[in-house]
Amino acid sequence: MSKEHRVLTGITTTGVPHLGNLVGAVLPAIKASERKDTTSFLFLADYHSLIKSSDSELRHRSSFDIAACWLACGLDPKKVIFYRQSDIPHIFELAWILSCLASKGLLNRAHAYKAATTDNEANKTKDIDKGINMGLFNYPVLMAADILMFKADAVPVGQDQKQHIEMTRDIALKFNHHYGDILTPPEAVIDEHTGVLPGIDGRKMSKSYNNTIPVFSEEEALQKVIMKIKTNSLEPGEPKDSSDCNIFNIYKAISTNEKVDDLQKLYEEGIAWGEAKKILFGELNSFLKPFKDEYNKIIKDKPYVEKALIEGSEKALSISGPIIKEVRQAIGIKGF
Ligand code: TRP
């Protein structure tokens, strides 16, 4: 019998579900969850969202929208462990334990923190830590706790999260070195194709860049966003290079190889940008339709979503409970 794999991934709840979430995390994770030798941990990283926003209503709504998105895309709550991070207090206990092992120097090098201090430097701000909260600084530790709490061995993430998984490995190995072989150093699973889905401005599609394509918006709103996708200024009739084209790369993530080849030909023949956007819009609309229909049904049934998450948290707690016990024993926090 092959070894059981534990696959774990989460989405931060700070906005409406977008195409990057769908093709980068939700759909591949659901697909992977169908494998027999796999236990999947899929969760809402609601406490991570505190770092980025103090809007409680937005956080609450976003948690619901993202939960409904997972379910609309085919997650079967009976087959996977689907939960809110905030329902598992053991994660936060582990985060403290790990933060006492992680060296500050390691966290100084985390991309998100470095980007923030670099901005401050560029703006000649006296205090390079201006506007940076401890949550942002500790972000990789909380993420490590999310993963190590369940001894997950595979974490499907975008390229931008690779560093966090390396830090998680580092912290797990340090724990094991001090306290015995307890935590599992995970591997990042990065899909070369979808790991880099561009947003409408060409940078990685991300809530932080405000360049996302929302997946459950009305057709008109979707069309508006598609029309805003950045292109170069080549005229209709001029041959176009598909390789670094945002429209093309988004199309590739949601379409069949055959259709991609057809669009490639049209690029060589000099398709107008407006026309390429229309083709992408049509394809995206039909790609999203089944998910949208399901989503619109699910959002009318809040108790169903809540029940799925409560049942998921019970399953998650039955796994995290014994692990945190093992961790406490190992570090000498135990009864006399
Ligand atoms: N940091 C991830 C993101 O913003 C979300 C996340 C939180 C996560 N904890 C995780 C992803 C654990 C994978 C595993 O996309």
Residue ranges and CATH numbers for the domains of the chain are 5-197+302-331 (3.40.50.620), 216-296 (1.10.240.10)
61 φ/ψ angles, rounded to the nearest 5 degrees? -65, -45
- What distance in angstroms lies between residue 157's CA and the mean position of ligand 1's atoms? 8
Query: Is residue 192 pLDDT above 80, yes or no?
Result: no
Residues 6 or more apart from 39 whose CB is under 8 A from it?
4, 5, 6, 7, 80, 81
Q: Which among 14, 62, 18, 13 has a CA at the least distance from the CA of 214? A: 18
Residues 6 or more apart from 84 whose CB is under 8 A from it?
43, 44, 46, 63, 67, 309, 313
Q: What angle do CA 199, 205, 211 make, to 5 degrees?
A: 55
Is the Cβ atom of 146 under 6 angstroms away from ligand 1?
A: yes
Is the Cβ atom of 161 under 6 angstroms away from ligand 1?
A: yes
pLDDT score recorded for residue 234: 92
Query: Is residue 109 pLDDT above 80, yes or no?
Result: yes
CB-hemisphere CA count at 13 Å for 285?
15
| Side-by-side strand order, sheet with 38-45 | 81-84, 38-45, 5-12, 154-156, 187-189
Is the Cβ atom of 308 under 6 angstroms away from ligand 1?
A: no
The stretch 149-175 carries a mean pLDDT of: 94
Helical packing angle, 302-331 and 56-72, nearest 10°: 100
Is the Cβ atom of 102 under 6 angstroms away from ligand 1?
A: no
Mean pLDDT of the chain: 94
List the beta bridge partners of residue 81.
41
Is the Cβ atom of 66 under 6 angstroms away from ligand 1?
A: no
Q: For the whole model, what pTM was predicted?
A: 0.92
- Give the closest residue (by CA) to ligand 1 atom 6: 10
- What distance in angstroms lies between residue 93's CA and the mean position of ligand 1's atoms? 18
Q: What angle do CA 152, 153, 158 make, to 5 degrees?
A: 95
Ligand 1 pocket test, candidate residues 161, 165, 208, most atoms within 8 A of CB: 161
pLDDT score recorded for residue 190: 84
- What distance in angstroms lies between residue 225's CA and the mean position of ligand 1's atoms? 26
Q: Point out the ligand 1 atom lying closest to the alpha carbon of residue 142.
A: 9
Alpha-carbon gap, residue 316 to 266, rounded angstroms: 50
What is the pLDDT confidence band of residue 86, given thresholds at 50, 70 and 90? very high
